[in-house]
Chains A and B, each alone.
Chain A
Amino acid sequence: MNDLALVLQNVETFYGKIHALKGVSLEVPKGKIVTLLGSNGAGKTTTLKTISGLIQASAGKIEFYGRDISKEKAHNIVSMGLIHVPEGRRIFKDLSVKENLELGGFTLKDESLRRKRIEHVFEMFPRLKDRQKQIGGTLSGGEQQMLAIGRAMMTDPKLLLLDEPSMGLAPLIVQDIMRIIKQLNSEGTTILLVEQNAKIALKLADYGYVLETGELVMEGDSTELRKDERITKAYLGE
C-alpha cells in the first residue's frame, strides 16, 4: 500500500538558538537503503535525532508509513518500529552483552519472543553469543557496533536509522559492518544511513542526499552521485 517508509517535509530544528535544520525534505522508500551524506556539522545527526524524537522539530512534517510522528515521544516512536542506532554506538557499558540485547527488546511484551530474538541476533553475530556474559564496555569497537546493530534488530524494525556505523573502526571491520548492513537490507529492513565515509555509503545505498549546513544541496541515485564531480571532490577525496 504505502511504498514510502519515511517522508520528511520541510523539517526545521533548532538547537537552542542555532538553526540546525533549515527545511529538510527527503524520502526513504520501503526496502531501500538511502544515505545522507555531508561533512561534520552539516546536520546529519540532528536529522536522525529529529526523526527518532530525541529532538522536537520546530516546523515541518515527519511521516512514518503515512503517520505523522513529528510530535511523538522517542519511546513511542520505537514501539512503532522505527529504530535509531546512535552515533558512537551508545551501548550500555556496565551491562552485559545479553542485557544490552534484552533492553533492545524492551518494547516486546513477551519474554519468550525476546529470547527468540536474542537467538536470532546470536545467529547473525556468533561473536556476541560467545561474549554474552561479558560487560559491554569490554568489547572491541567492531563488536560494540555489532552489539548496537544487534540491539536494534531485537524488535525487527520497519526502519533502521544508522548514524556513522563506520566511525572509529579499522577498514577490515568497516567492511564487515557494511556487509551486515547489506544483508539486513536484503532480508527486508529499510535503512537510512548517515555516513561521513561517502565512498562506502554510496556503494551500499540505492539513493543519496547531501546535506550542507542544515540544507539539502544535492540528491540522486547513488550510481549518479558517485560520478558527480562535486561529490568526488568534496567527499570522495579524488
Chain B
Amino acid sequence: MHAMTVFYTIIQQLVNGLILGSFYSLVALGYSMVYGIIKLLNFAHGDIYMVGAFVGFGALGIFGNALGIGWLGITVALVISMVLVGFLGIVIHRIAYQPLLNKNAPRMSLLITAVGVSFTLFNAVMVMTSGEYKAFTTSLGYDGISIGPINITYTQIIMVVATAVLMLGLYWFINRTMYGKAMRAIALDQDACRLMGINVTKTISLTFFVGSALAAAAGVMAGVYYGSIHFYMGFIIGLKAFTAAVIGGIGSIPGAMLGGLILGLLETAGTQLPFVGSAWKDVFTFGILILLLVTKPTGILGKSEIERM
C-alpha cells in the first residue's frame, strides 16, 4: 500500500475508534462507579444503555414534530433520556439492591439480582417493541470535513465533543462538589461516612443516577449514530464496557474512560490490520486485553489491592 493511503486509513480509523470508544467509556463509567462504591458488578448496566436509546427514541418521536429531528430535537431527547433513565437507575437501586445491602447479603446474591434486573429490562423492552428493530431517524446528514480521502462528519465531531463534555462534567462533579467527594469517600469507608453525617443510601442512589444517565446518553448517541436500535443492543456493549472498566482498573473513573477508548481503538484497528479483519477483530482485541491483564492484573489505573467479589 502507498504510504499516504496507510496514513489516511489510520486517521479515518482513529476517528471511528474514538467514537466507538466514547460509547464504551460512557457505559464503562457507570460500571466502574457502582463497583467502586458498593462492589457490585451491575450486569443490568448494558440494558440501562439500551433503555436509554429507546427513551431517547420515544422522546424524539414526541418532541420531533415541534423541535425537528436535527440537533435541537436530539439534544432535548438526550437530556430527557438522561434524566428519566437516571431515575430508573435510582428505582433499580432502591428496589433490587439496597434491601440486600441493608441485610448485608452476600455479593453473589447481589450479582444474581443484577442479572434478574437485566432480564427484566431486556424482556420488557422486547415485548413493548415486539422485538423489532426501530429506525432512529434523524435529519443529520453526512456533511463534514474532508481532507483528501479522509471524511469526518460533523455528527462524529459532535459525538466526541459531547462525550468529552460529559466526562469533564463528571470529573468536576466527583472532584469539586461535596456529593462527589462523598461518593469517593463511601467507596473507601461507609461507616466513617455515616459518622461525617453523609446519608450513604442517598449517595449510592445518586451514583446510580449519574451512572445510568451517562449510559443513557451513550444509548441515544449510538441510536443517532447507527440509525437503528433494538432490545438486544445492550448485551454486547454491556460486556465490552465491563471489559473496558476492568482494563482501566475497575473502580477508577479515569480508568473507565481510558479503558473504553483503548477498547474502541483496538477494535477498529483490528478490522484494518492484515491477517485480522472484522471477523477476527474480537479475537485480536481480547487477545491483547488478556496479555494486558496478565501483565497488570489490576488494570491500567487500578490499585494493587486484592478485591473479593
Contact = CB atoms under 8 A, between A and B. Distances in A.
Interface of A: 52-54, 73-76, 78-79, 83-86, 90-95, 99, 102-104, 106-107, 151, 155
The listed residue with most A CB atoms (<10 A of its CB), out of B185, B195, B198, is B195
Given A75-B200, A102-B181, A106-B178, A95 B195 contact: no
B196 interface: yes
B175 to A, nearest CB: 9
A78 B185 contact: no
B307 interface: no
Contacts of A107: 196-197
Contacts of A90: 189, 191-192, 195
B195 A74 contact: yes
A78 B196 contact: yes
B189 A78 contact: no
Contacts, number: 64
Nearest to A84: B195
Contacts of B107: none
Contacts of B185: 92, 95, 103
Nearest to A83: B195
B68 to A, nearest CB: 41
A103 B191 contact: no
A86 B196 contact: no
A54 B191 CA distance: 7
Contact of B188 (A78, A93, A106, A155): A93
B199 interface: yes
A163 B260 CA distance: 44
Given A86-B192, A92-B189, A106 B184 contact: no
**Among all A-B residue pairs, the 8 with the closest Cβ atoms:** A78-B197, A107-B197, A74-B194, A90-B192, A106-B196, A75-B199, A92-B185, A75-B197
Nearest to A79: B197
Given A90-B189, A94-B188, A151 B196 contact: yes
A139 B189 CA distance: 17
Contacts of A73: 194, 199
A106 B195 contact: no
A206 B294 CA distance: 60
B182 interface: yes
A104 B185 CA distance: 11
Contacts of A92: 184-185, 188-189, 192
Nearest to B187: A94
A113 to B, nearest CB: 12
A100 to B, nearest CB: 8
A103 B194 contact: no
Contacts of B199: 73, 75
Given A79-B197, A106-B198, A95 B192 contact: no
Contacts of A93: 188
A151 B199 CA distance: 17
A155 B184 CA distance: 21
Given A75-B198, A106-B198, A99 B191 contact: no
Contacts of B181: 95, 99, 102-103
22 contacts: A74-B194, A75-B194, A75-B198, A75-B200, A76-B197, A86-B192, A90-B191, A91-B192, A92-B189, A95-B181, A99-B181, A102-B181, A103-B182, A103-B185, A103-B193, A103-B198, A106-B178, A106-B197, A106-B198, A107-B196, A107-B197, A155-B197
A54 to B, nearest CB: 6
A78 B197 CA distance: 5
Contacts of B196: 75, 78, 103-104, 106-107, 151
B261 to A, nearest CB: 24
Select the residue from B178, B189, B191 with max chain A CB neighbours within 10 A. B178
B260 to A, nearest CB: 22
Contacts of B195: 52, 54, 74, 78, 83-86, 90
Nearest to B200: A75
A6 B182 CA distance: 29
A78 B178 CA distance: 16
A99 B175 CA distance: 9
A35 B194 CA distance: 24
Nearest to A161: B195
A145 to B, nearest CB: 14
A116 B194 CA distance: 23
Contacts of B191: 54, 86, 90
A85 to B, nearest CB: 8
Given A86-B192, A106-B178, 6 more contacts: A53-B194, A78-B194, A92-B192, A93-B188, A95-B185, A103-B181
A90 B194 CA distance: 12
A52 B185 CA distance: 19
B234 to A, nearest CB: 32
